[in-house]
């Protein structure tokens, strides 16, 4: 059985070294074949012929790519209130101002998050006017979002303290 397999492999190897013939037809078109044709000449094929192609790394350029690169470099800084600032407002009103560098690109919006929850609708303005915020410690973060809500850049968290005065009427002692 092994002998038959060996002989069949040898015969395939010998057949694979077929010759290549080249000829030109009456219209001047060049043809190649492994079967001899009239007026065909034998083409010598080198065993070490290798076709190699070197591929360079392709860079895909799209009209959005420069904007995405700029968005990745965008930095957002909360200017006011300052870190660990105490804000005194009985109505829970205060403004948050941010700086965006280099600048806010078209299609980008700023969203204000307080304690992880969005507190202002995404906007292009760098000043947020807030009201109705309860007293206590709060973490503020401003994020740049694209039209689909994907976060492109984010500020560092800023801790603030909101103080609301509380007037408690104490009962007056009655005489008598």
Q: Which domains does the chain have, with CATH numbers?
A: 18-44 (no CATH), 73-163 (2.60.40.10)
Residue with the larger pLDDT of the pair 87 and 3: 87
In the chain, what percentage of residues exceed pLDDT 70? 74
pLDDT at 94 over 80: yes
**pLDDT value of residue 17:** 59
Distance CA 86, CA 78 (A): 15
For the stretch 39-80, pLDDT in tens is 888 887 776 666 677 777 766 655 544 555 545 688 999 999
DSSP letter for 34, please: S
- 6 pLDDT above the threshold of 80: no
Mean pLDDT of the chain: 81
C-alpha to C-alpha distance for 79 and 31, rounded to whole angstroms: 76
Predicted TM-score (pTM) of the model is 0.55
Q: Is the pLDDT of residue 12 over 90?
A: no
Ramachandran class of 11: left when φ > 0, alpha when ψ lies in -120 to 50, beta otherwise: alpha
**For the residues 142-167, what does the mean pLDDT come to?**
89
- What's the confidence (pLDDT) of residue 16? 56
CB 145 within 8 A of CB 70: no
């Amino acid at each position: 059985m092994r002998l038959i397999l060996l002989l069949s492999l040898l015969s395939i190897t010998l057949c694979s070294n077929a010759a290549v013939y080249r000829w030109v037809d009456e219209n001047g078109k060049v043809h190649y074949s492994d079967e001899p044709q009239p007026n065909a000449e034998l083409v010598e094929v080198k065993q070490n012929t290798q076709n190699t192609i070197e591929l360079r790394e392709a860079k895909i350029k799209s009209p959005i790519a420069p904007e995405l690169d700029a968005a990745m470099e965008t930095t957002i800084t909360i200017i006011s209130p300052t870190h660990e600032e105490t804000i005194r407002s009985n109505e829970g009103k205060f403004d948050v101002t941010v700086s965006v560098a280099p600048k806010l690109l078209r299609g980008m919006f700023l969203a204000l998050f307080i304690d992880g929850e969005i507190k202002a609708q995404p906007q292009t303005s760098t000043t947020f006017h807030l009201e109705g915020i309860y007293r206590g410690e709060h973490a503020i973060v401003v994020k740049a979002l694209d039209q689909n809500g994907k976060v492109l850049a984010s500020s560092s968290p800023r801790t603030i303290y909101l103080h609301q005065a509380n007037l408690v009427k104490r009962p007056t002692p009655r005489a008598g």
